[in-house]
Amino acid sequence: MPRVARKFSITKVYHIILRGNDRQDIFFEEQDYRKFLKIISITKEKYQYELYTYCLMTNHVHLVIYDKNNQLSKIMQSIEISYSSYFAKKYRKNGHLFQNRFLSKNVESQEYLYRLCRYIHQNPLKAGISSIEDYKWSSYKEFINSEKIISSELILSMFGQTKLEATENFILFHQYMSNEINEEIEYEGISKLTDEQVKEKIQKLLELREISDIYMYDRETRNKKISLLKDIQGTSKVQLARVLGMNKKMLERIMNS
């Protein structure tokens, strides 16, 4: 199937997600994180783009980029090739490091941008790795202290007229857990399945003749079967709930129990 052309953002701002192939780790030690950020600095100078926000997690990366010269594909290709080469040489691993094409989401409003900023910075907290303030590999501290590789002016300007006021409001804003960015964005980097494909996988995994047969079981058995669905790759809780005809919150309670 031919690749679908990316839609250009009106604002030229993009949320980028890079994932390790098959969810493998792409950072093993501090030197790896530093190398990736160094590559970002080099490509920024080469392609003249601005980095608004970032967070490097163990097996994936979030970047918010202002691509003023419409060179996003070249930028990401340069980043991926440079880091993959470093990684392969250091760890003597062959094959693809990153999963498929990078995921890009257009950021078309300032409101979405500052909420996205919080969502990205809260990744370590939600993963149970670290507090927002203590995490070393995100742009949060650059907003609070001083810039290193990001351009903070635009986002901080949304929080106040002076640097002090903006910083204080920025910190307060990050103390509230973000629920605005739909969880499906975390799954779009995976090769997505159609509803029909998800249906077939559920039927095969749970040995169902029809999807509706899941409701023929008693509650305990049904819940045990539904909890197995977390192993299906290429889907999300939103899609699973839709295919099952179930409330998403109910599905999440079952899967998390």
As a whole number of angstroms, the distance between CA 228 and CA 245 comes to 17
- Give pLDDT tens digits for 24-41: 899 999 999 999 999 999
Report the SS3 class of residue 139. Answer: coil
Q: What is the C-alpha separation between 1 and 143, in angstroms, rounded?
A: 42
Residues in Cβ contact with 178 at an 8 Å cutoff, skipping those fewer than 6 apart:
115, 118, 119, 122
pLDDT for res 180: 58
Question: How far is the CA of 171 from the CAs of 18, 159, 166, in angstroms?
Answer: 26, 10, 9
Q: Are 51 and 107 in contact (CB under 8 A)?
A: no
DSSP label at residue 198:
H
C-beta of residue 198 within 8 angstroms of C-beta of residue 206: no
Measure CA of the first residue to CA of the last residue in the chain; give whole Å: 39
Task: Report residue 68: phi and psi, to 5°.
Answer: -65, -20
The arrangement of strands across the sheet holding 60-66 comes to 50-56, 60-66, 13-19, 103-106
Average pLDDT over residues 142-160: 95
pLDDT, one tens digit per residue, over 80-136 is 999 999 999 999 888 889 987 788 889 999 888 999 999 999 999 988 899 999 999
Question: Do residues 139 and 37 make contact, with C-beta atoms less than 8 angstroms apart?
Answer: no
Nearest alpha carbon to residue 150 among 137, 135, 166:
137
- The correct answer on CATH 3.30.70.1290 for the domain covering 13-182 is yes
* Residue labelled with tokens 């250009």: 8
Q: Where are the domains of the chain?
A: 13-182, 195-256
Determine the Cα–Cα distance for residues 50 and 34; give it in Å rounded to an integer.
18
pLDDT given for residue 51 in this prediction: 98
Q: Which of 159-168, 223-232, 236-245 has the highest mean pLDDT?
A: 159-168
Strand ranges in the chain using DSSP code E only, listed in sequence order = 13-19, 50-56, 60-66, 103-106
